Amino acid sequence: MQNLVKNVYFKLLKEFGDLNWWPVISNNHKLEICLGAILTQSTNWRNVEKSILKLNDNNLIDAKKLKNIKVEELAQLIKSSGYYNQKAKKIKNFIGVLFEEFNGDLDYLFSLRIKELRNKLLCINGIGKETADSIILYAANKPMFVIDLYTKRIFSRLGHEEGDYDKLQLSFMKNLPFDVELFNQYHALLVELGKRYCKKDPECSNCPLLNFCRTGKGLNPSVF
C-alpha cells in the first residue's frame, strides 16, 4: 500500500498540477470552509458554491449572524445545496456548540489538539467523519487525511479492498509524511480524478492511473 499511495499521488500531481483547494470567496475563510464542509454532504460542489454565494451576499459568513438567524430562513438561503432543512439545522448545531463552549471563536475551537478537536466535532449532531476531517484539514489547517466516496472508489478499483473509513484513512496517514499541504493536495487530486474519470461508470481510456488499475485493465486489456 505504501508504494501505491505514493505512486498515485505523484502520477496525479503530474497530470493535474496544483489545484489550490479549498476555494473561498469571503473574508472569513475558516467559517466559510466549515459551512462548505457541511453543505457539501450528499451534493456536488457547484450546488454548494451557489449556497455559499447566497450566504455571502446576505453577510451571513458570520458566526454571530448565523447564531441569530432563524433556521427556516437559513434553510431557504442554502436551498441549492439540497437537503436544506437538515443542513440548516446542522449549521445551527455547529454554531450553537461554537458559542456554548468556545465563545463563538473558531480559533479557540481549533486550538484543541487534533484528536480532541475531532471528537468534539463528531459529537455535534449532523457532523460525521468526512465533514469533521474536512474541517480539521482545510479550516483548522491540521494534518488529517479526508476520506470521501471518490477515495474509496478509486482505491477499490486499484485493488485496495479496505472500505472502512478509519482503516483506509490510516493507510494514507501511516504511508505519507504528516503534512497539511500534502494531505490537502492529495485529497483535491483524488476528487479531480473522480470527477473527470473515475465516475460511478468509469471513463478509463484517458485516465492517468489506467496502467495500474484493475478496472482499467478489465475494460482496456490492450494497454497492458
Q: pLDDT tens, 6-51?
A: 999 999 999 999 998 999 999 999 999 999 999 999 999 999 999 9
The CATH 1.10.1670.10 domain(s) of the chain lie at: 2-20+145-223
**Average pLDDT over every residue of 133-147:** 98
**Average pLDDT over every residue of 60-77:** 98
CATH 3.30.2310.20 corresponds to the domain 2-20+145-223: no
Answer whether residue 78 shows pLDDT above 80: yes
Crossing angle for the helix pair 29-39 and 45-57, to the nearest 10 degrees:
130
Give the architecture (CATH level 2) of 29-139. Orthogonal Bundle (1.10)
The CATH 1.10.340.30 domain(s) of the chain lie at: 29-139
Q: What is the pTM of this model?
A: 0.93
Answer whether residue 3 shows pLDDT above 90: no
In the structure, what pLDDT confidence band is assigned to residue 63 with cuts at 50, 70 and 90?
Answer: very high
Total residues found in the chain within this entry:
224
